[in-house]
Amino acid sequence: MKSYLKFLSRNKLYTAIEAVGLIVSLAFVIIIGSYVWQQYEVTRENPDRERIYVPGLPMMPALTYGFPDVLTDIPEIESVSRMCNVVAHPVIREEEFEAESAGVEPAFFEICPEFRFVEGSADVLSAPSNVIISASFARKHNLSVGDNLEISENSYIVGAILEDLKGTVIKPYDIFLNAAVYKDDWQPFDNYGSTVTLLKVRPGTDRKVLYDKLETVCKDVYSGIYGQAFFEHLELSRYDELFFKETDRYFRHGDKGTLRVLSLVGLLLLFSAILNYINLSVALTGKRAKEMAVRQLSGASRGAIIWKYVVESIAFTAVCFAAGLLLAEAFCPLINELLNNPDIPIKVIWSPGYVMAYIVIILIVGILCGIFPALMAGRYKPVEIMKGGYRRRSKMVFSKVFIVLQNALAVILIALAITMEAQMHKTQTRPMHCDIANKFFMLSYSYEDGNPFRDMLEALPCVKRVGKTTGVPGMISMGQYSTTRDGQDILYKLVRMDSTAFSMFHFEILEDYGAPQFNSVWFSDESFAASGFDEEYHDVGELAKRTKGCEQTAGVFKAFPTNPANLGEEDYAIISLMKPEDISANGWVIETTGDRKEAEKQITNAYETYVKEHKDAGNNSFWIDENIAEAWKPAHNNMRLVEIFMLLSILIALLGLVAMSTYYADEKSRDIAVRKVFGGTIETEVWRTIREYIVLVGIACVIGIPIAVYAAQEYLKDFIYRLEGYWWIFVVAVLLSGLIAFLSVLWQTLKAARTNPAVELKKE
């Protein structure tokens, strides 16, 4: 080991590049590996996870309140419980608070035993007047078993206290009420998505058999809608699959797409670092060739030489891994922020299981990094090495392959990084086709008469006008199914607006059919085309049943973004123009003047004054332009995270290229000296060496560009408003990688070419 340390100290540049590459890549492999493992650990918290199923809609693992009651005849079901997501604002000691609440049944805690009780048991929910609260909620509000609280003007008693939920599939709730309390709030087979049905099946139950029986029930109780519109088919999810479902209700959500991307980039990062290590070690084998020859001549076997290389590599990897662990711990907070503060944050864990995983990684990486240089060192006989045969026979084939691979990787990653940046700019500058400047939106959850609040708003000096609406550009929660002209199902994103709100947005009108001001429907150009309408035929038809009597097509406007994140599929927007008194929801779009902060303060104060005299269950309020910008932040943060990993991979690749160019120039120094003796000049020798290197870069570009094009297409396909005509990105990527390769080899080649031939030839 002493000779190895001495060797490292004599080759500081190569050692530094190997160490930096491994430390950085291992740090982020630790972070990514921890993220992936900790996400999947969530899905394993329930011991009966493979026997628990949740039937639901295609896009939501939930059905209706009455569905659990019609499953008694299915023998495969051992137990069943419902879970209702409810809005509750508990009043504690005459003060109202926010709380995440759910309605469940006692069987819920038998199906989900990961919920552990600090005090009391699930049986307390047998009495509808009892509630179960979390330990953190109890501490925060100084509550104990037996204390009272009020929800929706009904009095409840704290019957039990749960441990705080950590790493569970089901979202953390502050309060669990008896689901029976909400029995009269919903129709048993309507209000789709209001209730989760948890089924625990008997051991050995066949999933397909269970699905068929549940589908038969659905066809019976949902006969009017099953097989069409939003209930095209039954979705049956196993408990451990729920974490990765695309839903933000009831369950924690893990992003499988981000997991895949980060895993891929992390592997590329590690691959680049390992490739660096292997190639530099192979390149430097010649510098240790005589040492190994002496060892062999002294009696060491070929196996002993190989083992020495592997042990040295494992030791080097272990030191780098230790440094990588410290770096990973330091970077975890930043990564969690870029992951949009996930439900299950990344953390470096030192438990025995993780330590064993760390040791396995060290061994695998160490062996991979050491075995190739060891095999190369063992290829030559000691006598040949002592005579200089190793250097004469070395053709740098492996190093040339490495240079090609590293440059190809650099081209791919540079192209992808530029594609991501260009697409994000495209998203941020997406045209709105309406005026959202200085528009504040407030949606009250009360169904009381909102006119008194509207009067208060209009009296404010900062308010120009107030319109009533159920949604705004960037936030439309109401969906309505109808049929197109050719009889196909279509989902519209519906907004109900009064004329003030409609005029406030200054929509870009494409066609105006002169319909009455009220009780008419405006279509976006995309929804108009999807409906099969044209200038001669635009009969609202069946849609009129779902637009509150709006029976005529008013016209067509240029589509505004209903999906502000710019991911997925664009929605088909329609606007029902109605009288304010016919719009049941209290949503207000407020056009303001002057300072925005002062305007928001005045609006908030007016609302607080209003709720002192009127019942209200809270509100959702925001500046429309800020809400849209906020919507694409998660995608922006994920993009930044991937870019960081990409740039690190590029940096490691470039460090390797610098080191290899140094080695390349060193290997060519004797040939350059000989040619200079026979009349070669500095210029001709520099050009000859660089030309050989650039040919390798050209081969790398031929390999890398098709892969980069495919990767860019895959990345862009998920965007609604996407980048077009982006061929220039690949030209830039080739030019950048070529320039970097050129500069990295130029200074070393110049150094070799300027060396006195006599000095160089004396080394032989």
Q: At what angle do helices 12-42 and 633-677 cross, to 10 degrees?
A: 160
Where does the pLDDT of residue 229 fall: very low under 50, low under 70, confident under 90, or very high at 90 and above? low
Residues 6+ apart with CB under 8 A from 61: 54, 55, 196, 235, 237, 242, 245, 247, 250, 251
Tokens standing for 705?
């560009």
Residue 151: in which H helix or E strand, if any? strand 148-151
Amino acid at 572: Y
Burial of 568 (0-12, 13-18, 19+ CB in 10 A): exposed
Structure token digits, residue 325? 């662990």
The whole-number pLDDT of residue 535 equals 85
* Residues ≥6 apart with Cβ < 8 Å to 481: 229, 230, 489, 490, 491, 492, 546
CA distance 139 to 174: 11
Q: Highest mean pLDDT: which of 9-18, 337-346, 463-472, 716-725?
A: 463-472
pLDDT value of residue 468: 93
The answer to which of 178-182, 242-246, 265-269, 514-518 has the lowest mean pLDDT is: 265-269
Q: Taking 80 as the threshold, does the pLDDT of residue 132 lie above it?
A: yes
Pairing type for strands 520-524 and 509-512 reads unpaired
What number of other Cβ atoms are within 10 A of residue 6's Cβ?
A: 10
DSSP 8-state class, residue 122: G
Contact 102, 177 (CB under 8 A): yes
State the DSSP string of 455-521. Answer: HHHHTSTTEEEEEEBS-BTTB---EEEEE-TTS-EEEEEEEEE-HHHHHHHT--EEEE----SSSEE
| β-sheet bridge partners, residue 104 | 83, 178
pLDDT per position as a tens digit, 620-637: 789 999 888 887 777 777
Determine the 3-state secondary structure of 387 from DSSP: coil
679: left (phi over 0), alpha (psi -120 to 50) or beta: left
pLDDT at 260 over 80: no
Q: How far is CA 143 from CA 134, 181, 286, 741, in A?
A: 10, 22, 74, 67
- Select the highest-mean-pLDDT range: 81-90, 274-283, 433-442: 433-442
Give the whole-angstrom CA distance, residue 468 versus residue 587.
6
Average predicted confidence (pLDDT) for the chain: 80
At residue 706, the pLDDT reads: 92
User: How much of the chain, in percent, has pLDDT values that exceed 90?
Assistant: 22
pLDDT in the model for residue 678: 57
Question: Over 197-222, what HEC string results?
Answer: EEEEECCCCCHHHHHHHHHHHHHHHC
Q: Tens digits of per-residue pLDDT, 74-88?
A: 999 999 999 987 877
- The model's pLDDT over 654-663, given as tens digits with 9 standing for 90+, comes to 766 666 666 6
List the one residue out of 749, 733, 735 whose CA is nearest residue 692. Answer: 749
Residue 542 confidence class, pLDDT cut points 50, 70, 90: low
Residue 650: per-residue pLDDT: 73
Residue 734 confidence (pLDDT): 87
Task: Report whether pLDDT(390) > 60.
Answer: no
State both tokens at 149: 């609280």
Give the per-residue pLDDT at 209: 93
Contacts of 412 by beta carbon, 8 Å cutoff, 6+ apart: 704, 707, 708, 711, 733
The average pLDDT across 172-199 equals 86
CB 202 within 8 A of CB 76: yes
State which H helix or E strand residue 91 sits in: strand 91-92
* Residue 667 C-beta-side C-alpha neighbours within 13 Å: 23
Phi, psi (5° rounding) for residue 624? -65, -45
Residue with tokens 């990344």: 346
Provide the sign of the torsion angle of the four alpha carbons 125, 128, 129, 132, taken in this order: positive
Question: What are the E-state strand segments in 1-58?
Answer: 52-56
Which pLDDT belongs to residue 461? 93
Can you tell me the mean pLDDT for 433-440?
92
**What's the rounded mean pLDDT across residues 427-451?**
84
| Mean pLDDT for the stretch of residues 730-747 | 79
| End-to-end Cα, the chain, rounded Å | 29
Residue 446: pLDDT band with limits 50, 70, 90: low
Which H or E run contains 590? strand 586-592
Q: Mean of the pLDDT values across residues 218-246?
A: 84
Sign of the four-CA dihedral 470, 475, 477, 478: positive
Give me Rg for the CA atoms of the chain.
Answer: 34
Tokens of 170: 């089901």
Pick 142 or 570 by higher pLDDT. Answer: 142
CA 607 – CA 454 distance, rounded (Å): 10
Interatomic CA distance for residues 685 and 749, integer angstroms: 8
**Greater confidence, 585 or 221?**
221
Which amino acid type is present at position 60? Answer: M
The 8 Å CB, 24+ separation contacts for 640-645 are 640/338, 641/262, 641/335, 641/338, 641/339, 642/261, 642/262, 642/265, 642/420, 643/417, 643/420, 643/421, 644/338, 645/28, 645/262, 645/265, 645/266, 645/268, 645/269
- Of 124-138, 661-675, 706-720, the one with minimum mean pLDDT is 661-675
Q: Is the pLDDT of residue 430 over 50?
A: yes
What confidence tier does 392 reach under pLDDT thresholds 50, 70, 90?
very low
Question: Encoding tokens for residue 553?
Answer: 């097509």
Please, are residues 587 and 470 in contact by the beta-carbon 8 Å criterion? Answer: yes
pLDDT the model gives residue 130: 93
CA distances from 13 to 276, 280, 703 (A): 13, 11, 29
Give just the sign of the alpha carbon dihedral 542, 547, 549, 552. Answer: negative
State residue 304 phi and psi, 5-degree precision. Answer: -65, -40
pLDDT of residue 200 exceeding 70, the answer is yes
The per-residue pLDDT for 453 is 87
Say whether pLDDT at 171 is over 70: yes
With cut-offs at 50, 70 and 90, classify the pLDDT of residue 362. Answer: confident
What gap in Å lies between CA 749 and CA 683, rounded to an integer? 10
Amino acid at 477: S
Question: What is the residue whose two structure tokens read 């997925």?
Answer: 568
Query: Average pLDDT for residues 671-696, to the nearest whole number?
Result: 68
What does the pLDDT look like over 511-523, one tens digit per residue? 998 887 788 899 9
Q: From CA 721, how far away is CA 740, in angstroms rounded?
A: 33
CA distances from 269 to 25, 460, 646 (A): 6, 57, 8
Query: Could you give the C-alpha distances from 466 to 163, 440, 454, 505, 627, in angstroms and in order?
Result: 46, 10, 7, 12, 19
Query: Does residue 355 register a pLDDT over 90?
Result: no
